[in-house]
Copies of this chain bind each other. A is one copy, B any other.
């Protein structure tokens, strides 16, 4: 196990306005960013990593003095890793509306001098991509060697290829979907309802009340967490194991799975922002590039120019392989270059964050090929 490398976060400030799909605009905004590796002279080796619901710009490495705070995709990104920072200039950016340093509901609204709270505008995947494109301009990157993401990050990669077809050579979409199903939206809405009906939510202005809708956020995370794991994996890891020797006939954490989920919910509710949770789940619900093309995804993809890699995991029931195949089918129908891998992995949706050897070999090989293209 190589020792982690040290990284520092940067803040980039932008004078807007950034027009948003929902009709609002952000006057001024900041993005929290990390970069790893070195941009080559031709500025052709940049890779953008897009994050999912609860992650951030802290993709890899550790901060000095925080040895346990490892980047969320550190197993993939770093020196000698599949996305090799000795070859690529890798960029992580915290999405607008998130709670890890980019402008979001906790930021001060320049129009009022108070935190945005619930007044922070609803953000879409396309808005994130637009903000990332402005960041790329600032960094002097006109074209990415690749844009990559898993889950909601995969939606951003897909949206990049549609909105800025000339600005990425490769588009890597992992464990994602071209649009949420009714069931996906249902899970998101129950999570939102848990937050919205928490008496400490205060219409989203809980910062002013000095409280946090922790109970709602905790339940929301527990619901989400169930959908990230496969049924089999949960059975394997927890089964019906009890914490004590025998049944307790009460409402404490009696089965191991209860203890695990409650712990995950507690932890999450201490560091994540409830308004951000609402906002990001809505971005998930809204994503549907085919919507403006009579539901025909192949039309939404007609003008793309990237070389696509689409990957899914067999036990992912949140965004099942069939959802990835919809993307592949639409790309094939519009005669695009696409490779597809359906990886037999037991860990459900979370598999995209884990270092399954077949999965990492796939990405390693793919990035080796991209590196050859960059050097050519």
Q: Which residues of A contact B (CB under 8 A)?
A: 21-24, 121-122, 179-183, 185-187, 189-190, 192-194, 196-199, 215, 218-219, 222-223, 226, 229, 231, 234-235, 237-240, 247, 249-251, 254-255, 257-258, 261-262, 265, 278, 282, 285-286, 288
Contacts and interface: CB of A to CB of B under 8 A. Distances in A.
A240 B23 contact: no
Given A24-B249, A189-B258, A255-B285, 7 more contacts: A186-B257, A186-B261, A189-B255, A189-B257, A196-B251, A199-B199, A251-B278
Given A23-B249, A226-B190, A261-B189, A182 B219 contact: no
Contact of A122 (B121, B183, B199, B250): B250
Contacts of A229: 183
Contacts of A21: 249
Contacts of A282: 249, 251
B181 A234 contact: yes
Nearest to A222: B190
Contacts of A190: 219, 222-223, 226, 261
A182 B223 contact: no
Contacts of A219: 190, 193-194, 197, 219
A122 B252 CA distance: 12
Given A23-B249, A219-B219, A255-B285, A238 B182 contact: yes
Contacts of A181: 231, 234-235
Secondary structure call for the A interface: helix
Nearest to A214: B197
20 contacts: A21-B249, A23-B249, A122-B250, A179-B240, A182-B238, A182-B239, A183-B231, A183-B234, A185-B255, A186-B258, A189-B255, A189-B258, A189-B262, A190-B226, A190-B261, A193-B222, A193-B265, A197-B215, A249-B282, A251-B282
Contacts of A239: 182
Given A190-B261, A255-B285, A249 B183 contact: no
A111 to B, nearest CB: 18
A189 B285 CA distance: 25
A200 to B, nearest CB: 9
Given A194-B194, A234-B182, A247 B286 contact: yes
Nearest to A237: B182
Contacts of A187: 226
Contacts of A257: 182, 185-186, 189
Nearest to A219: B194
A235 B22 contact: no
A99 B115 CA distance: 45
A155 B180 CA distance: 34
Contacts of A251: 192, 196, 278, 282
A23 B246 CA distance: 13
